[in-house]
Amino acid sequence: MIAGLPPKDKNVPRRRHPVIESAPPRLTPVGEALAKQISDVLSDFDVSITAELDEVCCLVRAPDVERICRLLKEGPLTSMKYMRLLTVVDYLEDEAELEVVYHLYSLEHHHKMMLKTRVSDPSPEVPSVAGVWRGAGWYEREMHDLFGVFFQGTPDTRTLILPDDFEGFPGRKNYPINEYDEW
């Protein structure tokens, strides 16, 4: 950032634009069937199922994540063998929570879904899913670097993309990005 320009305020729209519309959910029939299946499969857990656009979105409690993931991967109805993406979204400012999002996909059934869980700040801990999908390992390390979410039981806890002595969690919204001198 150049000194002199005011930092852009990210939450306030730049111009007067009061109406913020939401994208309507547009689930396909396959997606609706999946939503039903998931509510059956995960009936033992505390789950709330919604939809974002065309994806089934399923919010669970953080301690259940690993068991749910294993169930989703190994259950023949879901068989989410492929984990596309693991990420963290920072809602600390508004809701004082971090959201961990897993994007799952099933090659057999062509099902796709988002699995979400929420953790809050003093101890943002989620069980690791690196034992379920090995590909999750690096994502977990990266998210720990950037957001400070701790994944319990992750096989490797070293930093991945930041230097070892880096302080703070630069992915979070409250990380002061304008307060350093440009090289």
* Region near other proteins per CB under 8 A, out of 36-44, 58-66, 83-91, 121-129: 83-91
Among 52, 59, 64, 92, binds other proteins (CB under 8 A): 52
What residues numbered 108-127 form the site for other proteins, per CB under 8 A? 108, 110, 112, 114
Given the complex with other proteins, which of 13 and 153 has the nearer CB atom? 13
Nearest to 58 by CA among 118, 141, 110: 118
61 touching other proteins, by CB under 8 A: no
**Contact criterion met (CB below 8 Å) for 102 and 111:** no
140 touching other proteins, by CB under 8 A: no
181 touching other proteins, by CB under 8 A: yes
Q: Helix 65-74 vs helix 29-41: angle between axes, to the nearest 10 degrees?
A: 120
Among 27, 41, 82, 150, binds other proteins (CB under 8 A): 82
**Shortest Å, Cβ 123 to other proteins:** 22
103 touching other proteins, by CB under 8 A: yes
Backbone angles phi, psi at 60, to 5 degrees: -125, 170
CA distances from 3 to 51, 160, 181 (A): 42, 31, 9
Backbone angles phi, psi at 58, to 5 degrees: -135, 115
DSSP-derived secondary structure for 42-89: TTTS-EEEEEETTEEEEEE-GGGHHHHHHHHHH-TTT---EEEEEEEE
Binding-site ranges for other proteins (CB under 8 A): 1-6, 8, 10-11, 13-14, 17, 20-23, 52-53, 55, 57, 81-85, 87, 89-90, 101, 103, 107-108, 110, 112, 114, 133-138, 159-163, 170-171, 173, 177, 181-182
